[in-house]
Amino acid sequence: MLYYLISIGITLSFLLAGCGGGNSPAPVSQKGKASSIEKRKTESAKTAEQKHLEKKEEKEYVYDPVGKTDPFKPFIQITSVRESGRSVPLTPLQKYEISQLKLVAIISTPEGNIALVEDSAGKGYFLKKGTGIGKNDGKVTKILKDRVVIEETYQDIFGQTKISEVSLVLGRLEEGGES
């Protein structure tokens, strides 16, 4: 029986050795290696093309500003009433702020008083009732003996139109001053 087991063990060892260790496979030639590399490259190129086509199919994001506020536009718009609806060119008096003008003289005439104002350069302008003056669409409403009353219209920060009354007072020489 021992002889029988030994013979079976030897037979199995030969069979197992014959299965795995017999002839080795023929080495792959350079052509075989090159063709497998080319196959891999073409496969990777195909997958890259597929990914690229998928990206093209995806819709690109486009910003649509309709109905959205402009983040660079200021919250407060300060505009004068004159800019919105006037196409008439400005007079020289409408290019100055009222504070830049100095009331020099008031002349009484039968048709009404006339005022003389002077700018910082010394140039004089005559004012009558209704004359436009100042950057805020001002109009001369009254010319009294010692002052000129001007009404200005402007828009406040809430967009409401406001009217303010500004006076230019006739300057008087003080004692000890120039004559």
Which one, of 91, 70, 73, lies nearest residue 82 by Cα?
91
Task: Please state, as a whole number, how many other Cβ atoms lie within 10 Å of the Cβ of residue 170.
Answer: 16
pTM of the predicted protein model:
0.48
Report yes or no: 137 and 81 within 8 Å, Cβ to Cβ: yes
Is 20 a member of any domain?
no
Is 51 a member of any domain?
no
Mean pLDDT of 146-175: 82
CATH number of the domain bearing residue 158? 2.30.30.830
Q: Report the relative pairing of strands 147-155 and 161-169 from DSSP bridges.
A: antiparallel
Mean pLDDT of 147-167: 87
Which CA distances in Å does 147 have to 55, 81, 100, 171?
Answer: 77, 26, 16, 9
Mean pLDDT of 104-112: 90
Domain that holds residue 136: 81-169
Is 26 a member of any domain?
no
Question: What local confidence, expressed as pLDDT, does residue 103 receive?
Answer: 92
Token pair in block for residue 4: 């029988």
Give the residue, 124 or 172, on which the prediction is more confident. 124
Largest Cα–Cα distance of the chain, in whole Å?
Answer: 158
Is 63 a member of any domain?
no
Question: What local confidence, expressed as pLDDT, does residue 170 receive?
Answer: 85
Each residue's pLDDT tens digit, 54-82 = 666 667 788 888 888 888 888 776 655 55
Is 105 a member of any domain?
yes
Residue 26 has pLDDT above 80, yes or no: no
**Helices marked H in 22-153 — which ranges?**
30-57, 81-85
With a pLDDT cut of 90, the percent of the chain lying above it is 19
Q: What angle do CA 136, 71, 157 make, to 5 degrees?
A: 25
Residue 25 has pLDDT above 60, yes or no: no
Where do we find the tokens 């199995």?
A: 12
Domain count, the chain: 1
Beta strand spans in 109-172 (E): 114-118, 124-127, 132-133, 138-143, 147-155, 161-169
116 DSSP β-pair partners: 105, 126
Is 37 a member of any domain?
no
Is 36 a member of any domain?
no
